[in-house]
Amino acid sequence: MATILINNVEYPIPEGEKLNAIQMAQRVGVEIPYYCWHPALSVVANCRMCEIEVGTKDPKTGEIKLLPKLVPGCQTPAKDGTVLVTDSAKVQEHQRMVMEYLLLNHPLDCPVCDQAGECGLQDYSFGHGQSVHRFVEERSVNPRKDVSDSIQLNADRCIMCTRCVRFTREITQTGELQVTRRGSHAEIDVFPGMPVDNPLASNVVDICPVGALLDKDFLHKQRAWFLSKHDAICAGCSTGCNVSAEENRGQLWRYKPRHNPYVNDFWICDEGRYSYKAANSPDLLSAMYLRAGDDHKVSPVSETLRVVGDRLQGLTTAGGKIAGVLSPFLTVEEAYLLGRYLKSLSPANVLALGPVPVRGEDQTFTPDPIEGRTGDASFVVCQPFTIHAEKCPNRRGVAAVLEHLQGEVIPFEALLGRVKGGEFRGLYAASSAIEPWIGESEAQTIRSGVAFLVVQDSLVTALAQVADVVLAGATFAEKAGSYVNAQGRLQYAEASLPPREGSLPDLDILSILLNRPGDPVSSSEILAEIAAEIPAFATARGGSPPEYGVLLAGVEPTRKGPVPPPFVDSWFVAQGAARGR
Partner 1 sequence: MQADDPNLKLIRPLEMSLADRLFLPAIVVGLGVTARHIAGVMFGGKAITVQYPEEQHITSANYRGVHRLNRDHEGRVKCVACMLCATACPAHCIDIVGATAPETWPDREKYPESFVIDELRCIYCGMCEEACPVEAIELTGLYDLTGLSREEMIFDKAKLLSVFDATRNQEPMRYGKPPVDPGSLHTTALPSQGPGPA
Q: How far is the CB of 113 from partner 1 (least distance, A)?
A: 8
132 binds partner 1 (CB under 8 A): no
> Which residues, 6 or more positions from 317, have their beta carbon under 8 angstroms from its beta carbon?
none
Count helices and strands in the chain by DSSP H and E runs? 14, 26
DSSP string, 193-210: T----STTTTHHHHH-SS
Nearer to partner 1, 117 or 543 (CB): 117
Q: How far is the CB of 187 from partner 1 (least distance, A)?
A: 19
297 binds partner 1 (CB under 8 A): no
CB 234 within 8 A of CB 275: yes
219 binds partner 1 (CB under 8 A): yes
Q: How far is the CB of 211 from partner 1 (least distance, A)?
A: 11
149 binds partner 1 (CB under 8 A): no
CA 88/CA 39 separation, integer angstroms: 25
CA 504/CA 236 separation, integer angstroms: 22
Nearer to partner 1, 144 or 359 (CB): 144
CB 90 within 8 A of CB 113: no
Nearer to partner 1, 205 or 469 (CB): 205
> What is the residue type of 272?
G
**Binds partner 1 (CB under 8 A): choice among 16, 68, 111, 293:** 111
Over the Cα atoms of the chain, what is R_g? 27
> What is the residue type of 555?
V
Residue 12 pairs in a beta bridge with 3
**If binding means CB under 8 A, how many residues of this protein chain bind partner 1?**
10
> What is the residue type of 107?
P
Only one of the segments 221-229, 389-397, 405-413, 513-521 lies at the binding site for partner 1 (rule: CB under 8 A); that segment is: 221-229
Alpha carbon 418 to chain centroid, angstroms: 38
**Binds partner 1 (CB under 8 A): choice among 9, 112, 132, 318:** 112
Q: How far is the CB of 223 from partner 1 (least distance, A)?
A: 5
**Binds partner 1 (CB under 8 A): choice among 58, 80, 93, 109:** 109
SS3 state at 288: strand
223 binds partner 1 (CB under 8 A): yes
139 binds partner 1 (CB under 8 A): no
Q: How far is the CB of 168 from partner 1 (least distance, A)?
A: 25
Nearer to partner 1, 156 or 176 (CB): 156
SS3 state at 496: coil
* Share of the chain residues as helix, strand and coil, in percent rounded to the nearest 5: 30, 20, 50
Q: What angle do CA 172, 483, 492 make, to 5 degrees?
A: 95
Only one of the segments 83-91, 108-116, 239-247, 283-291 lies at the binding site for partner 1 (rule: CB under 8 A); that segment is: 108-116
Nearer to partner 1, 129 or 211 (CB): 211
Nearer to partner 1, 226 or 274 (CB): 226
Only one of the segments 126-134, 220-228, 523-531, 549-557 lies at the binding site for partner 1 (rule: CB under 8 A); that segment is: 220-228
Nearer to partner 1, 185 or 249 (CB): 249
221 binds partner 1 (CB under 8 A): yes
Q: What angle do CA 461, 463, 469 make, to 5 degrees?
A: 105
Q: What is the DSSP letter of 572?
A: G
Only one of the segments 76-84, 219-227, 310-318, 446-454 lies at the binding site for partner 1 (rule: CB under 8 A); that segment is: 219-227
Nearer to partner 1, 101 or 225 (CB): 225
225 binds partner 1 (CB under 8 A): yes
CA 183/CA 460 separation, integer angstroms: 57
Only one of the segments 104-112, 338-346, 366-374, 389-397 lies at the binding site for partner 1 (rule: CB under 8 A); that segment is: 104-112
**Binds partner 1 (CB under 8 A): choice among 181, 220, 277, 297:** 220
Q: What angle do CA 207, 208, 214 make, to 5 degrees?
A: 110
> What is the residue type of 111?
P
Nearer to partner 1, 145 or 221 (CB): 221
Q: How far is the CB of 216 from partner 1 (least distance, A)?
A: 9
Q: Which element (helix H / strand E) includes 419?
A: helix 412-420
Only one of the segments 214-222, 237-245, 322-330, 401-409 lies at the binding site for partner 1 (rule: CB under 8 A); that segment is: 214-222
248 binds partner 1 (CB under 8 A): no
226 binds partner 1 (CB under 8 A): yes
The 3-state secondary structure of 320-371 reads CCEEEEECCCCCHHHHHHHHHHHHHHCCCCEEEECCCCECCCCEEECCCCCC
> Which residues, 6 or more positions from 426, have their beta carbon under 8 angstroms from its beta carbon?
311, 312, 315, 320, 321, 322, 323, 450, 451, 452, 453, 454
Which residues of this chain interact with partner 1, rule CB under 8 A? Answer: 109, 111-112, 144, 219-221, 223, 225-226
